[in-house]
Chains A and B, each alone.
Chain A
Amino acid sequence: MSAIAPSVSNAINNAIPQSADGAAAPLSAPSRAIPREGGNSLGTFGVKSGLAQMLKGGVIMDVVNAEQARIAEEAGACAVMALERVPADIRKEGGVARMSDPQMIKEIVNAVTIPVMAKVRIGHFVEAQILQVIGVDYIDESEVLTPADEEHHINKHNFKVPFVCGARNLGEALRRISEGAAMIRTKGEAGTGNVVEAVRHERTVMAEIRRASSMNEEELYTFAKDIQAPFHLLKETARLKHLPVVNFAAGGITTPADAALMMHLGCDGVFVGSGIFHSGDPAKRARAIVQAVTHYNNPKILAEVSENLGAAMVGVTIDKNLQGGEFAKRGW
């Protein structure tokens, strides 16, 4: 992005005669006029993926009302996810899970100063248009809601607001980035209080990246075909040795130790959903998980923050009888 910008500005610079008193004012003025109308400098991939960079080392918490959002902000959340029902309740109550009421999302936006995210159904680009208009900071095209389209995801390049999408493996992550996702979260199994799937997905992504980074170009072509990933993104990932966007872990993270485990496996931060507000002392647990992500490499601090957190979410085993089904299998 930085490589492109100067050449663009030089082009503008050459086209516009310089004023006698130097380059100062005319240099930046025209570049504003163009983007405000054409949208060039707003919602660039640089600012979309850049916000995710600022969330790194942080915890994004599911909240269902303004009061919970305030608790999350006070506990040190770097962002909140506004939704009507946390995943554990979606499992329990069943039915079709959709985008939340815009009024409820606006109340949360007004209650906190940190970024607010909200979920849309997979493929439901009109729900995404609505969330963009009401001014959410990030959209999660999420498998936790009931998919609206079983073949297509949203073309996320069409939006100024950035998107985060779920993935279980490298191919799925790169397909989402190719559609315009500016942040990836490994899916885990939301609403279970069980971290096993989050571990599986994060390990899978990281192991596939390690494999790709030792391949030559011929092998990368074949690997791209095998995992159904765009070749150029796979090549870039192999060179960087990490995904080209920020990668958070999600789905079943319940304790400070779970959060620290995910950080060790290579993610940049964590989402915690049902695990906080389905526990005995949400404020205390939330704060402990925030500290655990920062100090994941320091078992002494982890021991201190894990003490006396009250009852954790009970959690369930993940098998074919899982109530509500396996959300992680949604996504194509």
Chain B
Amino acid sequence: MIHPHPDAAIVIGILALQGAFIEHQDALQKISLQKKIEVIQVRTAEELAKCAALVIPGGESTTIALLARLSGLLEPLRQFVKTKPVWGTCAGAILLSKNVEGAKKGGQELLGGISITIARNGWGSQVESFEADLDVPLLRDPERPFTGIFIRAPVVLSLDTTPEDPPIKVISRLSPHYLPESLTSSNLTHEPKTFVALQQGLHFLTTFHPELTQDNRFHEYFVRECVLPSLPPPLQ
């Protein structure tokens, strides 16, 4: 591996096949850090190869997966996920999960990366979309809640970690009052369903949309806790 010059910018890619990718770009560019961040839009394998980390935005997961396959990006993305930090929001969270329920007929392609089972459209149709204040004890200004915007959001159904997997850290959870009845009526524990932001190793997942707010604390968290630790140590 070539060690980049210590002053070189960290290149973070935003998968720009479909969805709200510009908003992630704007939020990442506003982070102030000692190291420079360069944000690029990724639509080809060549662009992906330049990136030290990747954000998969919200959008339609079926559309993004199909475009990834047609653009020859599916395998390069799967390889990328194995070694580099990736953050998925909403549709991106679905793609980053190991298993999905409520997939389209015939199933849908995933990238994997985080050992969970996730359900698409956990709350139902758009009229059930909502905003909720989230507790964010691990972010900057932890006493200030974060406005979670949940749009046809997925729900984490279970954690499926094996002994070899890195542990899953819950970064933020939703008050159980917000869960739809269809999810709380079963006898199974509904605890994982309240998990709306998770970290496993270098990977990060949010079922809501931090990029639609002006608050970039989740973007900061991803860079600080996932991207920076993954970079090779500077040469002495």
A residues with CB within 8 A of B: 1-3, 5-6, 9, 23-25, 27-29, 31-33, 35-36, 41-44, 46-48, 50-51, 53-58, 70, 73-79, 109, 111-115, 132, 135-138, 160-162, 287, 290-291, 293-295, 298
Cβ-defined contact, B151 with A51, below 8 A: yes
> How far, in whole Å, are A150 and B71 apart by their CA atoms in the complex?
46
B21-51: which residues lie under 8 A (CB-CB) from chain A? Answer: 21-23, 43
A295 CB contacts on chain B under 8 angstroms: 43, 71
B60 within 8 Å of A (CB atoms): yes
Residue on B nearest A297 in the bound complex, by CB = B43
**Stretch of B198-206, B212-220, B222-230 lying at the A interface:** B212-220
Cβ-defined contact, A291 with B67, below 8 A: yes
Say whether, besides A53-B58, A54-B60, A47 and B151 are in contact (CB < 8 Å).
Answer: yes
Cβ-defined contact, A25 with B125, below 8 A: no
B174 within 8 Å of A (CB atoms): yes
B175 CB contacts on chain A under 8 angstroms: 25, 28-29, 32
Cβ-defined contact, B147 with A42, below 8 A: no
Residue on A nearest B143 in the bound complex, by CB = A23
A27 CB contacts on chain B under 8 angstroms: 133, 135, 145
**Stretch of B4-12, B98-106, B156-164 lying at the A interface:** B98-106
Min distance, Cβ B42 to any Cβ of chain A, angstroms: 11
Min distance, Cβ A285 to any Cβ of chain B, angstroms: 14
Cβ-defined contact, A294 with B17, below 8 A: yes
B93 within 8 Å of A (CB atoms): no
A24 CB contacts on chain B under 8 angstroms: 135, 137
Cβ-defined contact, B58 with A44, below 8 A: no
> How far, in whole Å, are A2 and B90 apart by their CA atoms in the complex?
18
B127 CB contacts on chain A under 8 angstroms: 42-43, 132, 135, 160-161
Min distance, Cβ B146 to any Cβ of chain A, angstroms: 9
A29 CB contacts on chain B under 8 angstroms: 175, 177
B20 CB contacts on chain A under 8 angstroms: 53-54, 56
Kindly identify which residue among A28, A57, A160 contacts B135, using a CB–CB cutoff of 8 Å.
A28
B59 CB contacts on chain A under 8 angstroms: 54-58, 78
Say whether, besides A78-B59, A138-B126, A2 and B145 are in contact (CB < 8 Å).
Answer: no
> How far, in whole Å, are A245 and B120 apart by their CA atoms in the complex?
25
A73 CB contacts on chain B under 8 angstroms: 62, 104
Min distance, Cβ B171 to any Cβ of chain A, angstroms: 13
> How far, in whole Å, are A159 and B120 apart by their CA atoms in the complex?
24
> How far, in whole Å, are A24 and B215 apart by their CA atoms in the complex?
20
Min distance, Cβ B145 to any Cβ of chain A, angstroms: 5
> How far, in whole Å, are A29 and B174 apart by their CA atoms in the complex?
9
B213 CB contacts on chain A under 8 angstroms: 1-2
Across the A-B interface, the 9 shortest Cβ-Cβ residue pairs: A2-B213, A28-B175, A137-B126, A32-B177, A5-B147, A47-B129, A76-B66, A135-B125, A57-B18
Kindly identify which residue among B137, B143, B145, B151 contacts A28, using a CB–CB cutoff of 8 Å.
B145
Cβ-defined contact, A47 with B130, below 8 A: yes
B120 CB contacts on chain A under 8 angstroms: 113
Say whether, besides A50-B212, A53-B58, A161 and B19 are in contact (CB < 8 Å).
Answer: no
Cβ-defined contact, B133 with A28, below 8 A: yes
Min distance, Cβ B172 to any Cβ of chain A, angstroms: 10
Min distance, Cβ B2 to any Cβ of chain A, angstroms: 28
Known A-B contacts: A55-B59, A58-B18, A161-B127. Give 6 more (CB < 8 A): A35-B130, A42-B128, A43-B129, A53-B212, A54-B58, A76-B70
